[in-house]
């Protein structure tokens, strides 16, 4: 089944049964206006906990709360009616036990009306994924570089070199067999992503994981040149909106200082200037 050319919202089940004739297109979204701009182009919108870094200026995603994810999940749902919207479960809100994960995921699903949740983890999270899926909560997995485990990884680095490759593959297989409808693979080598993609019955969505994956996801602000604190090698910039904003704001500031803005046409009850 192709996931494109649909008028109704794409479901997690449709992503799971995706035929592979076209790659899955996914981007992050955190706000209503961004969701509106992306929705018709994307099969999946992720309300990623990367919002902690991109929107709130945090150094990692660890400080993101469930409340933040819910507020941004609601905002994205207001701006989207086509893409499958997935909301990240933040650090500390699901790793303790399947019951904790269920409480958090059920709250996120009920308060946002999103289609699914995403959680990071491999073999150690498989029983939690199965617990959620058996209770009707679709789960998107996330293996390879897991930003919530940045301290355990020893930094934001490529994962899966040498002996690590088998671990990344085992993680993906465990999460897929536990019932995840798709698996995000982040920051790994092409042969690792290829082996996983060939082995899994569900689609893989790569970020820094090569074209071997069944779909691709990036952080929208990276794609648009709105987040320039650092640029991972795997990002391709399609616009430099940060520069456009800088130029626009400089022009506004100059107009205000020169008393050119507001002009008569921007005001009520002000005589039109004669020149
Ligand atoms: O939080 C996030 O944005 C993610 C990605 C896969 C980009 O997890």
Q: Which of 194, 231, 187 is nearest to 209 (CA)?
A: 187
pLDDT bracket for residue 12 (50, 70, 90): very high
pLDDT (average), residues 202-206: 98
**Per-residue model confidence (pLDDT) at position 1:** 46
* 6 within domain boundaries: no
Shared domain for 147 and 253, answered yes or no, is no
Q: What is the pTM of this model?
A: 0.94
pLDDT bracket for residue 169 (50, 70, 90): very high
Read off the tokens for 209: 């994981």
* 157 within domain boundaries: yes
pLDDT bracket for residue 230 (50, 70, 90): confident
Q: What is the CATH number of the domain that holds 28?
A: 3.20.20.60
Residue that is written with structure tokens 């399947």 in the block: 98
48 C-beta closer than 6 A to ligand 1 = yes
Distance in Å, CA 146 to ligand 1 centroid: 9
Shared domain for 21 and 116, answered yes or no, is yes
Q: Is the pLDDT of residue 251 over 70?
A: yes
219 C-beta closer than 6 A to ligand 1 = yes
Shared domain for 249 and 232, answered yes or no, is no
Element (DSSP H or E) covering residue 65: none
Residues 172/129, Cβ–Cβ less than 8 Å: no
Mean pLDDT for the chain?
A: 95
Segments forming the whole domain that contains residue 259: 241-275
Q: Is the pLDDT of residue 158 over 70?
A: yes
Whose C-alpha lies nearest to ligand 1, atom 3? 48
pLDDT (average), residues 72-96: 98
**116 preceded by a cis bond (ω within 30 of 0):** no
Residues 187/158, Cβ–Cβ less than 8 Å: yes
* 3 within domain boundaries: no
* 7 within domain boundaries: no
Question: Helix, strand, or coil here: 69?
Answer: helix
* 260 within domain boundaries: yes
Residue that is written with structure tokens 């701006």 in the block: 79
28 C-beta closer than 6 A to ligand 1 = yes
Shared domain for 183 and 212, answered yes or no, is yes
* Distance, C-alpha 23 to centroid of its chain: 16
Shared domain for 164 and 252, answered yes or no, is no
**Per-residue model confidence (pLDDT) at position 274:** 56
Shared domain for 218 and 262, answered yes or no, is no
Beta-strand ranges (E) seen in the chain are 24-28, 44-47, 84-88, 116-118, 139-144, 182-186, 204-207, 215-218
Residue 129: partners with Cβ closer than 8 Å, 6 or more residues away: 119, 139, 141, 175, 178, 179, 180
Q: Is the pLDDT of residue 7 over 80?
A: no
pLDDT (average), residues 115-136: 98
221 C-beta closer than 6 A to ligand 1 = no
Shared domain for 229 and 260, answered yes or no, is no
* 4 within domain boundaries: no
* 255 within domain boundaries: yes
Shared domain for 135 and 32, answered yes or no, is yes
Shared domain for 152 and 267, answered yes or no, is no
Catalytic one of 186, 190, 198, 265: 186
What is the count of structural domains for the chain?
A: 2
Shared domain for 209 and 87, answered yes or no, is yes
| Phi, psi values for residue 26, rounded to 5° | -135, 145
pLDDT (average), residues 56-62: 96
Shared domain for 156 and 272, answered yes or no, is no
What is the DSSP code string of 202-261? S-EEEESS-TTSSEEEE-HHHHTT---S---TT---S--HHHHHHHHHHHHHHHHHTT-S
Shared domain for 109 and 28, answered yes or no, is yes
Residues 60/53, Cβ–Cβ less than 8 Å: yes
* 50 within domain boundaries: yes
**% pLDDT > 90, the chain:** 88
pLDDT bracket for residue 199 (50, 70, 90): very high
């Amino acid at each position: 089944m192709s996931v494109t050319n649909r008028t109704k919202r794409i479901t997690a089940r449709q992503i799971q049964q995706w035929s592979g004739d076209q790659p899955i297109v996914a981007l992050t979204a955190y706000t209503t206006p961004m969701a509106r701009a992306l929705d018709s182009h994307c099969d999946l919108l992720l309300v990623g906990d990367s919002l902690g870094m991109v929107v709130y200026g945090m150094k990692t995603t660890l400080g993101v709360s469930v409340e933040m994810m819910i507020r941004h999940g609601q905002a994205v749902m207001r701006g989207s009616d086509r893409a499958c919207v997935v909301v990240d479960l933040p650090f500390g809100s699901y790793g303790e036990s399947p019951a904790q994960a269920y409480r958090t995921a059920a709250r996120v699903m009920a308060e946002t009306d999103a289609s699914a949740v995403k959680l990071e983890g491999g073999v150690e999270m498989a029983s939690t994924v199965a617990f959620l899926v058996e209770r009707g909560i679709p789960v998107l997995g996330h293996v390879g570089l897991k930003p919530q485990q940045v301290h355990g990884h020893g930094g934001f680095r490529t994962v899966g070199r040498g002996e690590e490759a088998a671990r990344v593959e085992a993680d993906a297989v465990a999460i897929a067999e536990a019932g995840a409808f798709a698996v995000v693979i982040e920051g790994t080598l092409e042969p690792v992503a290829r082996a996983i993609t060939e082995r899994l019955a569900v689609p893989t969505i790569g970020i820094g994981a090569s074209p071997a994956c069944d779909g691709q996801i990036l952080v929208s602000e990276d794609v648009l040149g709105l987040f320039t604190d650092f640029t991972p090698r795997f990002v391709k910039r399609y616009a430099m909106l940060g520069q456009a904003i800088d130029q626009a704001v400089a022009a506004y500031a100059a107009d205000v200082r020169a008393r050119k803005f507001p002009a008569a046409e921007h005001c009520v009850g002000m005589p039109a200037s004669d020149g």
